Amino acid sequence: MILLRSSLFAILQAFSTIVFSLIALLTFPFGAFTRYRIITLWNRLLVWAARVICGIRYEVKGMENVPDFPVIVMSKHQSAWETIALPIFLPPQATVIKKELLAIPFFGWGFRMLSPIAIDRGAGKKALRQIVEQGSDRIKQGFWVLIFPEGTRVRPGETGRYGIGGAWLATHTDISVLPVAHNAGEIWPRHSFIKRPGRITVSIGPVISSQGKKADALNEEVKAWIESEMKQLPHAAE
């Protein structure tokens, strides 16, 4: 039954990605926030489908910590689920991504219309300049910035190397950080076709100020909160 449900979800995901990518291209004449609201209907569809088809529910703790001003969201990265779900319950975000994603047919075309921050991860300090330049521009437009500091998805229980990019942007713009922990990887594993029923817990931490801090110190502070909170989350699998 889990295989059947996962297959049905995959079919819906593939079909809806093509449809919404074409819709996204048609939003070109509209402003950035109008495009965002239209295109992220895809996110809402997939989160709904994951619940109805695969039995994947979620709860969000710490919504009282979400400020009314732009911040840099630094989130744990275990799954594809959080990349889809975070735009649903947080304000409009510009996501930091590797530029190669924009070349993916359909998905990349649609993503391009969401004003992402596309960087060359292998460019070293140049990549940090790209994050600051593009991130500052998106923040001025009113977007939040979303970054997964581990860079790639990690298995439950693992901790990846926290890249400096998010903290670097925060300290170079005096923008605070909003840390996010979650356990989506327990039921929607990385690189896995199978999706199991369960309840994902998303925990949003208190805003962490960047003022007067070095990027590496801020990065360690964010990492400490996220990894400590990960140990407190309940199991997602049923």
pLDDT at residue 164 tops 80:
yes
Q: Which CATH class is domain 2-230?
A: alpha beta
What tens digit of pLDDT does each residue of 101-148 get? Answer: 898 989 998 999 999 999 887 777 888 999 999 999 999 999 999 999
* pLDDT value of residue 86: 97
Q: pTM score > 0.75 for this model?
A: yes
Report the share of the chain in percent with pLDDT over 70.
Answer: 99
Reading the block at residue 88, the tokens are 């649903």
Q: Cα separations (Å) of 88 from 1, 36, 40, 159?
A: 28, 11, 8, 25
What average pLDDT score do residues 142-159 get?
96
